[in-house]
Homo-oligomer: A and B are copies of this chain.
C-alpha cells in the first residue's frame, strides 16, 4: 500500500426533490448572487433550469444565467463566465448538468478571484504548471446525469478549441461544496446515455483496481468491487426498468464515489484505457466516451492481464463470478473478460471498433496517429502502470479491439 491522503468534503444531498434544498445550501456557503451554469440541452428545454432559477429567486438570491456549455467544455465559455460573474458580482456558482457543465463551472470558479489568465492553471512547461490556484469561488452542483463523477472529484478538464488542446487542472480547490442528486432527474435519459454513464463509472474504479502493486490494500479492492457490483446490478435493472428509483439512486451516488478518490486509496491507478479512449473519441467525434471505453477496456485487459495475474484472477472470481480454474488460471481471466464484453453488449454499446458509429475499418496510419497522441505518463514515453505501453503496444490494443 502506498501512503496517501483522502479528502472528499463535498456534501451529498440525495433524494426525491432534493433540488428544493439548493437555495438553503447556497446561503449556507455565503452565496448571495449565483451564476446558474448549464448546457442548452434537455434540462433547459424541459424547463428544469428555469424552474430552478425561479426557485432560487424566491429564496431571495440574485441569479445570473449562462448556458451553452458543450461536451469537452471550451475555454472561451470559461472566459465568458468569468467576465459575466465579475460584471454581476457573482459570489457562488451553481452547475446544473453533468461533467462538462461541472468542469466549466470549476474553471470559472478558479478564474474569478484570479488576476491572471485562468488557462495558466492548465498548462505546464517541463512538467511545471504556469500557476497553481490558491483561491476559488464556492460552487455547488445539481447533477442530471450519472457518469463522470466530476461532482465529487478534484479534476477539471478544459479544451482550448482553437488549438485543439485538452488540458487538466487537478486540485482539491476544485471540490464542490455540495452535490444535489435527485435520481428522478436521470430517469428520462436515453438508454444509450445511461449505459455509457455506467461504463464510465465502472471504468473509474477499474483504472484504480488494476494496479502494478502486487500487494494492494484489502479495503480498497473491496470498495472497488462494491462499485463494480453496483454498476452491473443496476445496469441490468435499468435496461428493463429505466425508471427504477433504487437503481437510479445507486448509480448516481456510485458515480460520485467512483471518482472522489475512495476507490484509489493507497495505490497507483493505471488510466491507460482512459487515455487511449480519449484519442479514439478525439479522432472520431461520433464515439461517446463510455462506448469507447467498452471497446478499449476488454482489449486492454487481454493485452496486459499477464502482468498482474493475481489481481485479474481476483477480479474474475470475486466480481465476474467465474469459477477458479486452478490448472489454467489464465482461462479464468479470459472467461471473465469475455463476460465483461458480453455485459457491455447486453447494454447495447459497441465493443469493437468496427461497430462504433462513424469508425468502420481504420487504416494503420490512423491507428498510429491515435497511438502516438496518447498522453505520455512515464519518462520513457510510455503510458499505464500494469504494463507500460509503447506506441506499438497501443496499436496492438487497437488491433485487438477491431
Q: Which residues of A contact B (CB under 8 A)?
A: 1-9, 11-16, 18, 215-220, 222-223, 225-227, 229-230, 233-234, 245-247, 249-251, 253-254, 257, 265-266
Known: A218-B233, A226-B219, A230-B219. A249 touches B13 (CB 8 A): no
Hey, which chain B residues are within 8 Å of A7, CB to CB? 9, 11-12
**Among B9, B215, B229, B249, which residue has its beta carbon within 8 angstroms of that of A266?**
B249
Q: Ordered nearest first, which 5 A-B pairs have the shortest CB separation?
A: A3-B15, A222-B226, A219-B250, A9-B9, A218-B250
Q: How far apart are the CA atoms of A7 and B12 in the complex, in Å?
A: 6
Closest B residue to A256 by beta carbon equals B6
Hey, which chain B residues are within 8 Å of A11, CB to CB? 5-7
Closest B residue to A25 by beta carbon equals B5
**Among B6, B15, B233, B253, which residue has its beta carbon within 8 angstroms of that of A14?**
B6
Q: In the bound complex, do residue A4 and residue B14 qualify as a contact, i.e. CB atoms below 8 Å apart?
A: yes
Q: What are 8 A-B contacts defined by CB distance under 8 Å?
A: A3-B15, A14-B265, A218-B233, A218-B246, A218-B250, A222-B229, A223-B223, A253-B265
Q: How far apart are the CA atoms of A16 and B218 in the complex, in Å?
A: 17
Q: How far apart are the CA atoms of A6 and B11 in the complex, in Å?
A: 6
Hey, which chain B residues are within 8 Å of A233, CB to CB? 218
Hey, which chain B residues are within 8 Å of A5, CB to CB? 11-14
Q: In the bound complex, do residue A230 and residue B218 qualify as a contact, i.e. CB atoms below 8 Å apart?
A: yes
Q: In the bound complex, do residue B13 and residue A246 qualify as a contact, i.e. CB atoms below 8 Å apart?
A: no
Copies in the complex: 2
Q: A3-B14, A219-B250, A253-B265 are in contact. List 7 more A-B contacts (CB 8 A).
A: A4-B14, A5-B13, A8-B8, A12-B265, A217-B246, A219-B253, A222-B229
Hey, which chain B residues are within 8 Å of A253, CB to CB? 217, 219, 265
Hey, which chain B residues are within 8 Å of A266, CB to CB? 14, 249
Q: How far apart are the CA atoms of A217 and B251 in the complex, in Å?
A: 10
Q: In the bound complex, do residue B4 and residue A250 qualify as a contact, i.e. CB atoms below 8 Å apart?
A: no
Q: How far apart are the CA atoms of A232 and B220 in the complex, in Å?
A: 14
Known: A222-B229, A222-B230. A246 touches B215 (CB 8 A): yes
Q: How far apart are the CA atoms of A222 and B250 in the complex, in Å?
A: 10
Known: A217-B246, A225-B226, A230-B219. A15 touches B9 (CB 8 A): no
Closest B residue to A222 by beta carbon equals B226
Closest B residue to A17 by beta carbon equals B3
Hey, which chain B residues are within 8 Å of A3, CB to CB? 14-16, 18
Closest B residue to A183 by beta carbon equals B1
Tell me, rounded to whole Å, the shortest Cβ–Cβ distance linking A244 to chain B: 10
Tell me, rounded to whole Å, the shortest Cβ–Cβ distance linking A226 to chain B: 4
Hey, which chain B residues are within 8 Å of A12, CB to CB? 4-7, 265
Hey, which chain B residues are within 8 Å of A250, CB to CB? 217-220
Q: In the bound complex, do residue B246 and residue A234 qualify as a contact, i.e. CB atoms below 8 Å apart?
A: no
**Among B6, B216, B218, which residue has its beta carbon within 8 angstroms of that of A234?**
B218
Tell me, rounded to whole Å, the shortest Cβ–Cβ distance linking A5 to chain B: 5
Tell me, rounded to whole Å, the shortest Cβ–Cβ distance linking A204 to chain B: 14
Known: A230-B218, A230-B222, A233-B218. A15 touches B8 (CB 8 A): no
Tell me, rounded to whole Å, the shortest Cβ–Cβ distance linking A145 to chain B: 17
